[in-house]
Structure 1
Amino acid sequence: MLSDPLPQPVSAALAGVRVLDIVSGGMALTGRVLADFGALVTRVDFQNGGQGRSDPDRAITRTDIEQLALGRGKLALAIDRAVPADRDRLLNAIRDCDILIDDGGLAALEDARFANAALRAANPALIILNLSDFGEASPLACWRATNPVLHALSGGLSRSGRPGHPPVMPPEAIAKACAAVHAAFVALLAFTERLESGRGDLIDFSILDGVVQALDPGFGVNGSAAAGVRASELPRGRPDVHHQYPIIPCADGYVRLCVLSPRQWQAMFKWMGEPAEFADPAYEQLRTRFNSTTLVPAIARFFADKTRAELEQQGQAIGVPTAALQSADEAIDSDQNRSRQLYEAHRLRGVDIRLPRAPVEVDGTRLPLTTPDRDAQRARAALLRNDTGVPRAQSAGPLQGLRVIDMGVIVVGAETGRLLADAGADVIKIENPAFPDGVRQTQDGSVMSPSFAAGGRNKRSLSLNLRDPEGKALFLDLVAQADVLLSNFKPGTLDALGFDDETLRAINPGLVSIQSSAFGSTGPRSRQLGYGPLVRAATGLSALWCSLDDPGSFSDAMTVYPDHVAGRLGALSALALLVQRKATGAGGKATIAQAEIILDHLGVDMAVASLRAQGQQIDDDPDAPWGVYPCGGDDDWCVVTIENDAQWTALARLIGFEGHDTANRSDRARHRPAIEHALTSWLAERSSYEAMERLQASGVPAGAMLRVADMPGFPHFVSRGFFREIAHPAIPAPFLVEARPVRAQNMPDPDQAPAPLIGQDSDAVLSDWLGLSPSQMQDLMARNIIGTIR
C-alpha cells in the first residue's frame, strides 16, 4: 500500500496536493486542516462587481476573527462573479487542482461549466467535496442548519443538562468543527484512493452526518463509564450521570474525578483514609459506586478544605485521575499551554488577537508545516501522480493492503483504528487479557458489548505479552512488517516498553506512527492520567458547558468529546504521512494533544470573549432570539436560531408579531423580550416536529431535539441510509452502527466483520504477517507469550 518510495523529500506531508477552497464559516476548517499539513490550499474570495472587499477602517467582527483563524496557511484568489475573465480563471484553477471543497459557491454562479459533471469530465481525477447542511440526498436538503440546530438534530442536546431541567446547549462551535475534521479526513481518504487508482470522486457531505459521527455518536463506541450501555438505551429525559465523572466542590472551586478501574478505586479509598462505609469489596465495581448515594458527598467532605492544585497534585501522584476545573481564561494561560507555546498573537487592524496553533506535531514540529515553494510543490505533485494506467477494482477499500498495528484503547484508540479498518486496512489490535481495554467492560459481565462491537469492527485481535522479552521481540517483528502504528498512552509508555522512536525507526524507516495523548508529549501536564472528562475540565470546556442562569450546572458528563474527533484527526494524520511516504520513502511520527483539539475548536469564541473582556467592541452577533424552547409535548424542545434580517422578519411574520417590519437594529433589540414571549407562546401550542417544519419552511433555522433512539426513524437518516444493522455472534440481538463514513460515488461501503474477542486472531495474524508455523505458535501459547481463543 502506497509503496514505490521516491527521493526528493520536502518539508510538508501534503506538499504537492492542490486544494481549492470555496467555503465560508466554520466549515472552512476543512481546508485549513489540509493546509496545516502542507497542502497548497487556495481560498476563493468572491466579489460582486467590486463589492465585498474589506474596509480596513471598520470595527472588528467575529467573522473577521473566524476568517483569521480558519484562513491560516491558505492563499487567496479574488474572483469577481460579474467578470467573464475571472470566471475563466476560476475554471482553470479547478481543473488544475486535486481536491475541490465547495459549500455552494459554484452553484450560485448558475454556470453550466461549473456543474459537477462538467468539472469531472474535464478532470476525471478531481475529487469534489460538496459540503451542505443536510447533503443532496435528503428530504431536508433545502433546510438550513446552524450550530445549535446541529446539536439538536444530532442527539447531543438531549443528553446535555440535568434531569427535570431544560436541556443545556453545548458550546456551539464544536459542532461544525467536528464535522470539518471529518470532512478533511474523507477528502484525504479519497485522495489516497486516487494515488492507487487514478480515479477521482464526488462526495456528498452532509454536515449533520459529520456532526453525528465525529462529535458524540449515539450508536458508536462509548466511554468506559458507560460499561457497554448505549446512548439509545438510556431512559427518556436527561439521565443523571453526574456520578460517572463527578465534578466536586473544593476550597477554591471544583475538581473532576475519573475513577473507573478497581485499581483507581483502591487508590481513592486509601486517599480518603479507608472509611469503613466504603470498605466493602463490592465498591471495586462501577455499578456499586454509581448506585451509591453517599459516596460522592463523602468525597466532597474530604475535598472541602483542599485547593484545586492540591487535589490535582495528590490525586495524580497516587493514580487517581484528577483535574482542576478551570475557566476559559485560566485554561488559555495555563502552565501547560505556555510551556508548549500553544497560543500566538495575530495583529488585525491594530488589535492583538491570540489564537491557538494546531493540535498536531509531526516529528517534533508543530503544525502548520512549512509550505514549500511552487517549484517544490510541482515536483512533489509529479511524484504523487498515478501513471500506472491500471485502475484498481471498484470494490476495493481505499486502504486495501495497508498493515496497521493498533495499540489504542478506549474511545480514541478504538476510533482511530476502526476508521482505517473500515477503509480496508488490516488492523491488528494488540491486547493482553490481564489488562483488557476499558471499552470491553460491561455491566452484566458479558464478553462483548455493542459499544466495543462498534469500535472494534473490521479489526483482528492478537493477544501478546509485551512484558516478556519474547513478546517484545515478536512485536518488533510485526513492526518491521507494518505501515502504521497507533497508540494513545501517556507519553513515555512506549519508550518504557523498549519501543522508543529510534528503535522503531531502525527496524522500519517507513513506519508511520500516530500517538495521541490527553495533553501532549511535553509540558507539566504531559504525564498526567488523562481521560476526556478531565481534558474538558482542564481546557475550560466544562465551565462553559453550563446553563446561563445556573453556573454550577456542568452538563458535559454524557459526552465523550473530543475522543471521536481526535480519532479522525489521528487517522487523517496517518493518511497525510502515508502520502509523504509515497513521495519520499520516509515514514514519520505525528503526536496529537486532545486538550489542544478543544482549544482549537473554541479558539474563535475564546478570542472574542477575551477581547470583549478588555473592552474591545466585537460586532456581528445575531440581534434576534435564539435558544432552546419548550414545545407542546412531554419534555419536548425545539431550537430556533436567527442569522440575518430576512430570517428575523420571517420569524416575526410566522408567529404574528406586529413588529416584523422593524428595520432598525436598535429597535429590534427593544422588541426582543416581546418577540421571545410571542415565540414561546407559539411553540407551546405545537410539537417540536411541527414547529421545526413550519419554521424551516419559512426560512428560519430550527431543529427538534432528537433523542438518540429517535434518530434511526428520522426522515433525513432514513433517506441517506445513514444507519446499518449488524450482528455479532456474542451479542443476542442485532444492533445499529453508522453505515459509511460518507456518501460518495467511488468509495465503497465498509465491510462489517464482527469485532474480535481477545486473542481471537492470534494464530492467523502471526501466520499472515510473520509466517509462523502451528508448532511455533503452540509453543508460544504454552509459555503465555501469546494467547488465543480455542
Structure 2
Amino acid sequence: MPTGLPLTDVRVVDLADGKAEMCGRFLADLGADVIRVEPPGGAPTRKRAPLHGGVSLYFATHNAGKRGVTLALDDPRLLDLAAGADILIETERPGTLDVPALLDRNPALVVVSITDFGQTGPYRDWAGTDGVHLALAGVLSRSGIPGRAPVLPPGPLAQESAAVQAAWAALVAYYNRLGTGVGDHVDCSVYEMTAQVIDPGFGIGGSATGGVPATALPRGRPAAGNLYPIFPCADGYVRICVLARRQWRGMFGWLGEPAEFADPKYDNLAARFGASERLHVLIGDLFRNQAREELIAQGQERGVPIAALLDPGEVLASPHFLARGGFVDMVVAPGLAGRLPSGYVEVNGVRAGPRRPAPEVGEHNAEVFAETRPAPPAKRPAPPKQRPLAGLRVLDLGVIVVGAELGRLLADQGAEVIKVESRAYPDGSRQSLTGETISVSFTWGHRNKLSAGINLRSPEGLELFKRLAAESDVVLSNFKPGTLESLGIGYDVLSALNPRIVMADSSALGSTGPWSRRMGYGPLVRASTGLTMLWRDHGVEAGFCDAITIYPDHVAARVGAVGVLAALIERRRTGKGGTVSVAQAETILTQFSTNFLHESLAPGSFTDPGDLFQGIFPCAGDDEWIVVAAETDEQRRRLREVVGSQDIAAWTAARPPRECMAVLQAAGVPAGMMQRVIEYLDDPQLSARGFLREMRQPYIGHVVRTENGPAGFRGVADPELRPAPLAGEHTRAVAARLLGLAEPEIEALIEAGVLEGADHD
C-alpha cells in the first residue's frame, strides 16, 4: 500500500478569509503545500471569536498545516506566487480580484472563487452568513418543532459544508487540468453549495422517508420525532432507530413481548409508527431508571440500534474517538495546546490531518519568496468542455444516502459507475412508501449509473466481481466495517489483482475503535457526536430538532469524493492505488473543530446559545420568517436606518419575507428569508444560475427537476442526465461487454442466481 499523503505535489495559494476557509485546510490535510496569504498586519480572522489568550481559535483550526506569508492584493509578488501554483482559492467580493491577470500569468492555474451567492445573478453582491444561507437553502424550514418558530441548526454548518464541496470542485478542475493543460475559474456559491450538501431538497433522502421527496413535505416543520425517538433515562437521554423487522423483534423481546404488540403487523414500520404513542410509553417506562451505558449494552446484545446523547465534553473524552485518533492534542499557537478533531479522512491507513500549527503572521515570508518553481506552461487553446473522469470505471457497492451520493458525484463527472446490487440484500433507498417502481429520491441519488445484479454471497459471484475489479479503477462501499474482508474482496485481495485500484469505504463511526461494530444510522451518529444535544428548541422540554435532517450523509459523501480524487491524482504520479476511509462521525467533529478546541480549553463553552448578531423574525403571511444577521457595527447602523424606531420584529412582521430580504440586502444588511424547497423554483438567483435542470426518468410520469453540478466551470461540462437504473437493468450488458460472457453463459448464471437481471427482462 502506498505511504504518505496524496497531494504532496500540489501547491495551493490560499487567499480565503472568513468564508469556507476549511477548503484550503482540507487540501493541506491531504498533503498539499498550502500557502496562506494575508495582508500586512495579518488577516481579519486572526481576531475572530472565540479567542483564548488572545488567539483566535477559528484561525488556529482553519489554518493549521498551512504556511503563511503577507502580501497585499496589488503586490506584484502575488502574481509570482500564482505563477508557481496549481490552485488559488479566493473569497473576495465578485470582481475584486483580477482573475484574468492570474490566468494570463499562469494559464494552467485553477482559480477557485468562493462567494456568498456566486459571480453572477441578481444576488451576486448580496452578503450572507451561516444563518442566511441555511434559511434560503431550505434547511431552516425543516428544523424545529411543529407549530413553533423554526430553529437554526447549531454551529457553522453552511460554511463548513460549502468548504468541502469547494474542495471537491477544486480537485475536479485540477484533475481536468492534468489532462488538458488548461486551468479554470471555478465559481462556488455558498448559497447553492448549502442547498446541495446539508439537506438537499433535490437530493436523495434517507430510507425512512420511503422515497418521498422534500418537495412533498408539509408546509410547517415536519413531525419526525417518532422516526428516531429519544427517551430520558437515569443519567441523560438515549435514542433508538428501530427500522428493520429484526430490530423490532429485538425491541419486542426487550419489552417482555407485550401482548398488545404481538400481532405480526407490527413487523411493519408503518404499523409501529401508527401506534407510536402507546409503544413509546412502554419503551419510556423500560428505559427511565436505567443508565445510558446499561441500555446501550442491552440494545447491542438484542440487535436494537441505540446510542447515548452525549454533550460536547463527553465527546472530547470519548474512549472511542480517542482510540481511533479522532481527536489530537497539539500546540495550536505558541504557548497554547488543546484538543481538536484530527481531520476528515484516512488515506492509506494514515490520518490526513493538521501536521503543524497555523502560521504566525508572515512566518514563512523569507522561505516562500526565496523558493523557485518551474515556469508556468505556455497558453494553450481551451478544449471543448469535458467530464474529467471519463474513462474511469467505478464499482459502486454503496447503499442508502452516503453510498448513493459518492457514486453519483463520480458518475456526474464522467466515470462509468456500475452499481453492484442483489435482491437478497436490497438497497434501502429503493424502497417506496407509495409502491412506485422507482422513486424521485432514488433518481436523484443514482442518475448516470448502471446497475449489475451480482450475488456476492456465492463463490461464482465473487469471482465475477473480482474479474470486474481487475479492470476497474475504484471500488466504493459503506457496509459495516469488515464486511468486504469477510467476503474475501478486501483491499489486500483486490489490490493483488489490480495494484492501481482505489478503494473507498464509509462507515458511521469508523473501521476501528470500541464503537466501530455498532449499528450506524445518521441519527445515532448525531447523538454520539454531541450534535443532537445542541440542536434544540430550548422553549420546549427535550425539544430536540434533528430528527428530519440527514446531515452529515451528503457532506460525508463529498469528503469521500475528495479523498478518492486525491488518490487518483496520486495514482497518475505513482501508478499505484490505495485506500480512503471516511467516518460520518468524524465529518461532524471536523466541521465543529473550533468549538471542540474551545471546549477543550474552556470546558462548558460549547453550548451554542446562538449568534448574538443574528435572529429569526416573523414576516407577514402564514409561517413566514427571515434571518437577519447584522454582524458588524456598520451593518447594525444600516439596520437601524432601515427599521427606524421600530422593533425589528415589528418591522419584518408588516412585510412579506422576500420584500424584507430585498430591502435589507439593498441596505447592506445580510438577510435571508426562510425559503421552502418548492420555492427554489421561484428564486431568481437559482434560476439565473441554472441551479436546477430537467431530466426524464422511466416509470416516473413527469419531468424530474434535479440539481446541476457542484460549481460553475469554464472547462468542465455539466453532468449528463441519464436516468437512474432499475435493479439489474444492465447485468446482461455488463456481463457481455466487460466479462466477455456469451448469452448462454449469462442465462445460465441468471438461472443459477449468480447474476440477476431486471424484473422487466
TM-score, normalization: structure 2? 0.93
Task: Give unmatched runs, 5+ long, in structure 1.
Answer: 1-6, 109-113, 658-676
Contact between 2:395 and 2:469, CA under 8 Å: does it hold in 1? yes
Q: 1:251-266 alignment to 2 at 5 Å?
A: 251-266=234-249
Task: Report SS of the residue matched to 2:453.
Answer: strand
Range with greater deviation from structure 2 (429-438 or 261-270): 261-270
SS in 2 for 1:216: coil
Deviation at 1:596, TM superposition (A): 0.7
Which residue among 630, 640, 648 is the counterpart of 1:642? 630
| Equivalent AA in structure 2 for residue 24 of structure 1 | D
Q: Could you say which residue in structure 2 is the equivalent of 1:246?
A: 229
- 1:334-368 per-residue CA deviation (whole Å, 9 max, x = no partner) reads 11112123222335354433211103111211113
Q: CA deviation at 1:494?
A: 0.8
1:612: how far off? 4.2
Determine the C-alpha separation between the residues in 2 that align with 1:106 and 1:768.
Answer: 48
Counterpart of 1:484 in structure 2 is: 474
Change (3 A) 1:421 1:63: farther
Alignment-derived partner of residue 506 in structure 1: 496
Does the 8 Å CA contact 1:179/1:215 hold for their aligned counterparts?
no
Aligned to 1:147: 130
* Contact preservation (8 Å) 1:196, 1:392: no
Q: CA deviation at 1:251?
A: 2.2
Q: Is the 8 A contact 1:19 1:98 kept in 2?
A: yes
Q: Which amino acid aligns with 1:493?
A: T
Instruction: From the superposition, tell whether residues 74 and 704 of structure 1 become closer, same or farther in structure 2 (CA, over 3 Å).
Output: same
Is the 8 Å Cα contact of residues 326 and 538 (structure 1) preserved in structure 2? Answer: yes
From the superposition, tell whether residues 678 and 61 of structure 1 become closer, same or farther in structure 2 (CA, over 3 Å). farther
Residues in 2 aligned to 1:88 and 1:14: alpha-carbon distance in whole angstroms: 27
Partners of 1:469 and 1:573 lie apart in 2 by 31
Work out which of the residue numbers 430, 434, 437 in structure 1 matches 2:424.
434
Q: 1:32/1:93 Cα in 2 relative to 1: closer, same or farther (>3 Å)?
A: same
* 1:11–1:370 Cα contact (<8 Å) kept: no
- Going from structure 1 to structure 2, the CA distance change for 1:281 and 1:530 (only over 3 Å counts) comes to same
User: What does residue 671 of structure 1 align with?
Assistant: none
Q: Is the 8 A contact 2:495 2:501 kept in 1?
A: yes
**Residue in 1 that maps onto 2:282:** 298
In the TM superposition, residue 69 of structure 1 has moved relative to its aligned partner by: 0.5
State the Cα distance separating 1:279 from its structure 2 match.
2.1
Name the aligned partner's letter for residue 406 of structure 2.
Answer: T
Judged with a 3 Å threshold, the aligned counterparts in structure 2 of structure 1 residues 24 and 369 are, in CA distance, closer, same or farther, namely closer
Q: Is 1:181 aligned to residue 164 of structure 2?
A: yes
Matched residue, 1:566: 556
The yes-or-no answer on 1:67 pairing with 2:62 is: no
SS at 1:91's partner residue?
A: helix
Asked if the contact 1:127–1:201 (Cα under 8 Å) also holds between the matched residues in 2, the reply is yes
1:98 aligned to 80, 86, 110, which one? 86
Partner residue in 1 for 2:342 = 357
CA separation in 2, counterparts of 1:10 and 1:536? 32
> Which one of 525, 546, 552 corresponds to residue 542 of structure 2?
552
Residue 163 (structure 1) aligned with residue 146 (structure 2) = yes
The 5-angstrom pairing of residues 764-775 of structure 1 reads 764-775=733-744
Conservation of the 8 A alpha-carbon contact between 2:137 and 2:195: yes
Could you say what secondary structure the match of 1:751 adopts?
Answer: coil
AA aligned to 2:30 is: F
586, 598, 605: which one pairs with 2:588? 598
Q: Is the 8 A contact 1:47 1:53 kept in 2?
A: no
CA distance in 2, matches of 1:78, 1:575: 31
Which whole-Å deviations, capped at 9, do the CAs of 1:534-590 have from their partners, x for residues lacking one? 100000000000123346111011110110010011111110000111000111101
Contact 1:38 1:369 in 2 (8 A): no
2:724 partner amino acid: A
Q: Per-residue deviation at 1:62? A: 9.0
C-alpha separation in 1, matches of 2:541 and 2:591: 22
* Residues 696-742 of structure 1: per-residue CA shift (max 9 Å, x gap): 11111111101111112111111111011222111122222102221
Match of 1:326 among 310, 316, 323: 310
1:732 to 701, 708, 711: 701
1:219 maps to 202
Shift in alpha-carbon separation, 1:622–1:532, aligned structure 2, 3 A: closer
Alpha-carbon distance, 1:524 to partner: 0.4
| Displacement of 1:607 | 2.9
Query: How far did residue 51 of structure 1 move?
Result: 9.8
For 1:166-189, what per-residue CA distance to the aligned partner results, in whole angstroms no more than 9, with x for missing partners?
Answer: 111101311111110000001101
| C-alpha contact (below 8 Å) 1:195/1:385 kept by paired residues | no
Count of equivalent residues? 744
Unaligned stretches of 5+ residues in structure 2: 357-363
Displacement of 1:61: 7.7
1:392 and 1:290, CA in 2 relative to 1: closer, same or farther beyond 3 A? farther
Structure 1 position 52, deviation (Å): 7.3
Distance 1:567 1:155 in 2: 20
- 1:696 is paired with a residue whose SS is helix
* Matched residue, 2:359: none
Distance 2:738 2:377 in 1: 28
Q: Write the letter of the residue equivalent to 1:12.
A: L
Match of 1:781 in 2: 750
**TM-fit CA distance, 1:390:** 10
Rate the CA distance shift 1:121–1:625 in 2: closer, same or farther, 3 A: closer
Which residue of 266, 269, 277 corresponds with 1:286? 269
Comparing 167-176 with 536-545, greater Cα deviation is found at 167-176
Amino acid at match of 2:739: L
Mapped pair 1:20 → 2:13: yes
1:396-429 CA-partner distances (Å, limit 9, x unpaired):
3110010001010100000000000011100011
Distance in 1, Cα, partners of 2:593 & 2:212: 33
Cα 1:192–1:369 shift into 2, 3 Å: farther
CA distance in 1, matches of 2:488, 2:658: 57
Pick from 574, 578, 588: which aligns with 1:588? 578
SS in structure 2 of the partner of residue 479 of structure 1: helix
Pick closer, same or farther for the CA change 1:703–1:386 going to 2, 3 Å.
same
> 2-side partners of 1:308 and 1:51: how far apart?
45
> TM-score normalised to the size of structure 1?
0.89
| Structure 2 contact 382–715 (Cα < 8 Å) conserved | no
Rate the CA distance shift 1:222–1:623 in 2: closer, same or farther, 3 A: closer
The equivalences for 1:197-236 within 5 A come to: 197-236=180-219
Q: Which moved more, 1:739-748 or 1:578-587?
A: 739-748
Name the stretch that deviates more: 626-635 or 553-562: 626-635
Distance 2:44 2:588 in 1: 32
Q: Which of 640, 663, 669 is the aligned partner of 1:694? A: 663
In the alignment, the residues of structure 1 paired with residue 45 and residue 385 of structure 2 have an alpha-carbon distance, to the nearest angstrom, of: 47
Distance 1:623 1:440 in 2: 40
Deviation per residue, 1:255-283 (Å, 9 max, x gap): 11112222222222222222222222222
What is the aligned counterpart of 1:335 among 319, 324, 327? 319
Tell me, in whole angstroms, the C-alpha distance in 1 between the residues paired with 2:525 and 2:122: 38
